[in-house]
């Protein structure tokens, strides 16, 4: 049996090491979590940063095989918040001292869309007098658009690689120009180059995914020198092409446990990055996100989208808290996060230390 010391003293995990720890059960799994917990409190502290998540539109031009809001899904009721609804949600996050917001939505590439986001970013700067952290998660965009958004107040960007093995990526996306692995990778590189705090992530428990794929995902994040990660369990959606492979999936509980182990191992591999506790964890376990915080994650993204729209942003089934209003979430999170021994860093942007270490800024 490998000991905690052996885990901690190992500077660089190989693919085999990662697979070994992904398979850990019982006492070994407990040891892994103890190690990651220790690293977390040493390097990022027991502080959790809030990002108010605004899912402002489910209109998307892409057709990813796993996603419930893919363009071809006729059953998705489409919505697009008005600017003032988005800014109200941002104001709510700001007034409740969330420190940062995330604007997320389907992928649309058009000059009008780019202009709209630029306008929103300027307004967010005004509302918060430039203090609010702003993350965008709006998919692949031309370099000049990424630059324009950065210049207007966005400073973090989340673009999941979804699956770092190109073969797996190709199995879960249509084979065409707009779902091209190399383009996605290039976009991620561009984000890092133009100066964003750059985040990526993957889905865990996808059909066709192997242990080596998952280990490769973590190595990809390390090699890329990523600043932030959001990774979560894959949860099937009945109106998507991947649904036909549901019989091949490991159980939801196994996907959940795998996500925790991926989080713990990544925390040990990349000590100073920000790791988000994925919302999808909560679709499987009511205190799933808190469990991820306990073993290594340090960011949580409370949903601040107005209640009436939340139901329609269904990337996957059983999405949690779709009936709640943002204010209800705040109270319950205070209690839940206290429960795992962490404290909420209210009013702090919570930029990843890794970004400063990486860039020397
Ligand atoms: N359109 C943007 C952002 C919104 S989608 C983009 O794709 O980058 C945000 C994330 O939801 C995706 O990156 C994907 O990893 C996740 N997602 C989509 N469908 C999912 C599913 N069925 N289960 C779990 N996560 C899913
Ligand atoms: Fe669109 Fe993102 Fe869903 Fe793909 S994952 S269909 S880009 S919203």
CA–CA dist 232, 135 (Å, integer): 18
Residue 272 DSSP code: T
Q: Of 161, 203, 280, which is best to mutate to test ligand 1, by the most ligand atoms within 8 angstroms of its C-beta?
A: 203
Residue 330's pLDDT is 62
Residue to mutate (ligand 2; options 69, 78, 104, 178; most atoms within 8 A of CB): 69
Locate the ligand 1 atom nearest the alpha carbon of residue 107 and give its number: 1
Protein residue with its CA nearest to atom 3 in ligand 2: 67
Rounded Cα gap, residues 361 and 355, in angstroms: 8
**Domains of the chain with bracketed CATH:** 2-359 (3.20.20.70)
Along the 361 residues of the chain, how does pLDDT read in single tens digits?
556 667 767 778 999 999 999 999 999 999 999 999 999 999 999 899 999 999 999 999 999 999 999 999 999 999 999 999 999 999 999 999 999 999 999 999 999 999 999 999 999 999 999 999 999 999 999 999 999 999 999 999 999 999 999 999 999 999 999 999 999 999 999 999 999 999 999 999 999 999 999 999 999 999 999 999 999 999 999 999 999 999 999 999 999 999 999 999 999 999 999 999 999 999 999 899 999 999 999 999 999 988 777 778 888 877 666 666 666 566 677 778 887 888 888 889 999 999 999 998 7
Cα-to-centroid distance, 47 and ligand 2 (Å): 31
What is the per-residue pLDDT for 335? 75
CA–CA distances in Å: residue 318 to residues 143, 282, 286: 35, 9, 11
Rounded CA-CA distance 279/295 in Å is 16
Q: Which residues contact 246 (CB under 8 A, 6 or more apart)?
A: 207, 236
* Ligand 2 atom nearest residue 106's Cα: 8
- Closest CA relative to residue 266, chosen from 320, 215, 224: 215
Res 2: pLDDT: 58
Task: Indicate which ligand has the atom closest to the C-alpha of 187.
Answer: 1
Most ligand 1 atoms within 8 A of CB, residue of 146, 160, 198 to mutate: 160
Q: What is the pLDDT of residue 315?
A: 85
pLDDT score of 251:
98
313 class by beta-carbon count within 10 Å (0-12 exposed, 13-18 middle, 19+ buried): buried
Tracing tokens 């489910």 back to the chain, one arrives at: 58
What is the SS3 assignment for 50?
strand
The pLDDT value given to residue 250: 98
List Cα–Cα distances, 311 to 84, 166, 202, in angstroms.
20, 32, 23
Report DSSP letters for 27-49, one per residue.
Answer: HHHHHHHHHHHHHHHHHT-SEEE
The alpha carbons of the chain give a radius of gyration, in whole angstroms, of 19
Calpha distance 220→135 (Å, rounded) = 22
**What pLDDT does 337 receive?**
84
Enter the tokens of residue 260.
Answer: 């925790």
Tell me the pTM. 0.95
């Amino acid at each position: 049996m490998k000991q905690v010391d052996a885990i901690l003293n190992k500077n660089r995990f190989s693919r085999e090491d990662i697979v070994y720890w992904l398979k850990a059960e019982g006492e070994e799994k407990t040891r892994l979590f103890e190690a990651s917990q220790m690293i977390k409190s040493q390097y990022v502290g027991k502080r959790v940063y809030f990002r108010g998540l605004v899912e402002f539109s489910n209109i998307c031009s892409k057709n990813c095989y796993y996603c419930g809001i893919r363009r071809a899904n006729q059953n998705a009721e489409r919505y697009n918040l008005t600017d003032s609804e988005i800014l109200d949600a941002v104001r709510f996050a700001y007034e409740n001292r969330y420190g940062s917001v995330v604007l997320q939505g389907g992928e649309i590439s058009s000059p009008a869309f780019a202009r709209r986001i630029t306008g929103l970013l300027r307004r967010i700067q005004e509302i918060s007098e430039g203090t609010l952290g702003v993350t965008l998660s709006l998919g692949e965009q031309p370099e000049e658009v990424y630059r324009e958004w950065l210049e207007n107040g966005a400073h973090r960007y989340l673009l999941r690689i979804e699956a770092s093995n190109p073969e797996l990526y190709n199995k879960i996306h249509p084979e065409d120009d707009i779902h091209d692995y190399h383009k996605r990778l290039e976009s991620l590189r561009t984000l890092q180059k133009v100066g964003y705090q750059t985040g990526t992530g993957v889905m865990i428990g996808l059909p066709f995914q192997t242990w080596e794929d998952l280990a490769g995902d973590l190595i990809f994040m390390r090699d890329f020198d990523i600043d932030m990660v959001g990774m979560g369990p894959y949860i099937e959606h009945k109106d998507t092409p991947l649904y036909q492979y549901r019989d091949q999936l490991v159980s939801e509980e196994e996907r959940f446990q795998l996500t925790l182990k991926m989080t713990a191992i990544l925390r040990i591999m990349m000590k100073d990055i920000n790791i988000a506790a994925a919302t999808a964890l909560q679709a499987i376990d009511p205190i799933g996100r808190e469990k991820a915080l306990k073993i290594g994650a340090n960011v949580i993204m409370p949903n601040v989208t107005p209640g009436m729209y939340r139901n329609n942003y269904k990337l996957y089934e059983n999405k949690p808290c779709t009936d709640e209003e943002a204010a209800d979430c705040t109270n319950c999170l205070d209690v839940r996060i206290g429960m795992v021994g962490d404290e909420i860093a209210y009013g702090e942007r919570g930029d990843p230390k890794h970004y400063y270490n990486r860039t020397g800024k």
